[in-house]
């Protein structure tokens, strides 16, 4: 069977009586070539079935114009927002993204890192799993001077650039709000995890409880953070002698699970139990009563992390002096915690 030869820039140049360098620039959308010539070259390239040889180009430049992104889960509203921000910046700057999900497994995270290393990505953006803080699988990138940026869930001690929110301050503010609403017994529902995200939220919660002087607190570790774990906690709550009258929950999905189960058992929200979640997912405004939550700017985090990485790669800015960039978060007060009517 005869296989048709791949069209090259020289074929396009011959067809249009132009130099190969003009064709090459036009196909890269270089504004040095006027718009009409670029359009003619593009049409000719399409007619001849020309495909750019990214592999050959990467061998010449030692660049693949690809960024590897590793996230814990793709089915998270927060991560979707982060990825949308990353994709927007990559698209503007002519970069592609390879996305891998660790599914909260360090082993899977390491596999993703290995794949991306072998694909010769120019840089990596990663949010770590809830499991242990072993990040040795990212060392191969450092050894080859391939920059790695962490966001949201980051290593405790690292020289890499990190983009986070102040989880301590956000948790403090959420708990303080429940105190101000008159809650006396406030529980924090979270995960047993070495992740900076959950550790810092526990510390912020505990600081607000201690500062109040009159509230009791208790950290409750759940098996997971989802609808089912929220519902399962309410089954425990019903058996408690001194039931909590305030719940600060480490994510919105779990808080919504609590709301559904509390309502099924005719427990009034916020009169009997007031709730604050975390992440400000769309579900927080669909549930009834609407859920108070900490709004975390995921899209902005994704954009800033990607911008910093690409600017470092292009030599516009060095990440040597970027350690931790802390983004603002905001407490959105809704009906689930508004005990005091103004």
Q: How far apart are CA 99 and CA 124, in angstroms?
A: 10
At 244, give phi and psi (nearest 5°).
-70, 150
Name the band, by pLDDT with cuts 50, 70 and 90, for residue 7. confident
At 22, give phi and psi (nearest 5°).
-65, -45
Which pTM value belongs to this model? 0.81
**How high is the pLDDT of residue 320?**
67
Q: What is the dihedral of CA 116, 114, 76, 313, to 10 degrees?
A: -40
**How high is the pLDDT of residue 98?**
96
Please check whether residue 138 is in contact with residue 115, taking contact to mean a CB–CB distance below 8 angstroms: no
Q: How far apart are CA 41 and CA 36, in angstroms?
A: 9
Q: What value does the mean pLDDT of the chain take?
A: 91
**How high is the pLDDT of residue 156?**
84
> Which of 190, 195, 150 has its CA nearest to residue 171?
190
> Which of 155, 226, 139, 230 has its CA nearest to residue 194?
155
Q: Give me the mean pLDDT over the 149-175 stretch.
A: 94
All structural domains of the chain? 9-52 (1.10.260.40), 65-165+298-327 (3.40.50.2300), 167-296 (3.40.50.2300)
Q: Give me the mean pLDDT over the 232-248 stretch.
A: 96
Lowest mean pLDDT among 48-57, 126-135, 158-167, 177-186: 48-57
pLDDT at 54 over 60: no
**How high is the pLDDT of residue 342?**
46
Name the band, by pLDDT with cuts 50, 70 and 90, for residue 63. confident
**How high is the pLDDT of residue 55?**
52
């Amino acid at each position: 069977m005869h296989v048709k030869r791949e069209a090259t820039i020289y074929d396009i140049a011959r067809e249009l009586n132009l130099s190969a360098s003009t064709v090459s620039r036009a196909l890269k959308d270089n504004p040095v070539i006027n718009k009409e010539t670029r359009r003619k070259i593009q049409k000719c390239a399409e007619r001849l079935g020309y495909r750019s040889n990214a592999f050959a180009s990467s061998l010449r430049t030692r660049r693949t114009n690809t960024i590897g992104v590793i996230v814990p889960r793709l089915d998270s509203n927060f991560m979707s927002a982060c990825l949308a921000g990353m994709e927007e910046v990559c698209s503007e700057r002519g970069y592609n993204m390879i996305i891998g999900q660790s599914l909260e497994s360090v082993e899977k995270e390491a596999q993703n890192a290995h794949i991306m290393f072998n694909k010769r990505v120019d840089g990596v953006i990663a949010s770590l799993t809830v499991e242990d803080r072993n990040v040795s699988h990212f060392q191969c990138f450092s050894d080859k001077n391939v920059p790695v940026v962490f966001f949201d869930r980051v290593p405790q001690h690292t020289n890499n650039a990190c983009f986070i929110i102040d989880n301590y301050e956000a948790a403090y503010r959420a708990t303080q709000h429940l105190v101000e609403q008159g809650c006396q017994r406030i529980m924090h529902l979270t995960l047993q995890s070495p992740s900076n995200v959950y550790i810092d939220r526990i510390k912020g919660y505990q600081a607000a409880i201690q500062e109040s002087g009159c509230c009791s607190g208790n950290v409750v570790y759940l098996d997971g953070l989802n609808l089912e774990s929220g519902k399962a906690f309410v089954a425990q709550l019903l058996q408690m002698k001194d039931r909590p009258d305030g719940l600060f929950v480490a994510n919105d999905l779990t808080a919504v699970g609590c709301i559904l189960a509390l309502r099924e058992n005719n427990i009034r929200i916020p009169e009997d139990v007031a709730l604050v979640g975390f992440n400000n997912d769309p579900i927080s405004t669909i549930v009834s009563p609407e859920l108070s939550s900490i709004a975390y700017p995921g899209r902005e985090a994704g954009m800033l992390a990607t911008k910093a990485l690409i600017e470092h790669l292009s030599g516009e800015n060095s990440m040597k002096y970027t350690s931790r960039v802390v983004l603002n978060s905001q407490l959105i007060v809704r009906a689930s915690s508004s005990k005091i009517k103004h």
